[in-house]
Structure 1
Amino acid sequence: MRILILWLLLSFSFSLQATAFSKKDFQFAVGGQYQSILQKRGIVTYKGYQVLPIYSIQLWNPNLLVAGSSLYYTHILVNPKHRFRLRLNLDSTLDRPLYYTSEKENERIRREETSEFDIFYEWRRSNDDHIRLQFSQDLVAHNGFYTELYFHKKLFNLLMAKNNKALLQPGVFAALGGGNKNHNEYLYGVGASHYSLTNLQYGFAVTSPSAIDVFWPTFKITRFELLGEENRRASYVREREGWQVELLFAFRVL
């Protein structure tokens, strides 16, 4: 699998030649993110809220972006409706809060720190409805993998910007995912299932196409739940379902 990842990186690198970089494509943005709890793929990883500073840097190419601990590369296929997105996430554990607001350190489950390489295929309609397929491969802790199907349906445009794109675009979404044995035991604990569907998420999301890629909703309410009795009874599981609220804002500095 790591050979496949290396091959993909080399393949996409051909479109990142020196002529593809320009000073005008350098951008720097800062902002903040609120999360009512931390959760990953259906399991609560921290019960308290977090308000975090965020930043992103567009690296002299509109398809190359650093956001937090992740490096993103987007490759458009044939036309903008079809695209691949690659993400190297150096800190994918998601159970280490920046500060404590609820659970204390001695009350928490701590997983081994890890990184992931993610491959996304996205299909978008002209009205901003989109479907996304995800494949995630662990690089450090367990060598497991995870797959997910995500669907977003736009409801309406609330405000329009001068570029004829929506400032606010309410919608609904649903996601269904599953991992193999290594992934599931790392995330959910001893007793988790072999490869199977592990979590369902759905809810309400607001995107802002005029300001930020719809890959990142600016407001999101998620209902999440674990699937399968083995996963619901695994050793790390305390809550089998729940709600999460997320708010994202950012502004360009350069």
Structure 2
Amino acid sequence: MTIFELIGFGPNGWGLAMLLATAMTIALALCGFSIGCVIGVAVARAKLSKSRLAVVMADFYTTVLRGVPDLLVIYLFYFGLSQFLSGTVTFWCADGGFLLGLLQPSAITPGLCGSRGFIELPRFLIGSLALGVVSGAYQAEVFRGAYGVLSRGQIEAAKAVGMSPFLMFRRIIAPQVLGYAIPGLANVWQLTLKESALVSVIGLVEILRQSQIAANSTFKPFYFYVVAGSLYLAITAVSTYGFSRVEQHSLRGIRRA
């Protein structure tokens, strides 16, 4: 079979499977990036607070998550959360009674669905959470740096005219911080997109995992890995263009140095 037949949408082609895997990759990266955005804003706020404890905890979070391998974080989420759920059982029994206990995995008794031992969470959820907490560590630094660029005169003027903290955040701080943060967020998005390939180790079928399956089935690894690389590059190119347009729109009227 030629490469066009292999990656086509015919009866023996892998085109549809690769397309679905691409959609899975995009969905996984978007969910991870969105979770990271929420975490990043909260951690950046903690870093900028006057509380010494909040600053220390935020610094610890960003240092650890940026220092350990991303693959290790995925494994910790996959096995750690499942083991935690296996040891902490909270479920409704078939007769309507409620059972809550801290048990050893070997001592878990069958519950509503006959669960026993290892409880596996949805792999998409695990991958999104793992990517989110890693992405959040990088996004926190992006937001903190963007906040440092703000003109303090605008903030002082807003306080002088009696703006509430929420109104000042909505009208002055948030729009400008987001505009300054977009280039950094674009880099974090590219990082999250590439890290999504690591989620294949827990069995989620995204681009890389689907390429491995197709390569093992057809004994044509080169073809499918080239296709996988091309798909990642295509997503990256579209994302770069999108972020550049958003940056131009958000910083309209602001003179750059």
TM-score (norm 2): 0.25
Q: Which has the higher strand share?
A: 1
Q: Which has the higher helix share?
A: 2
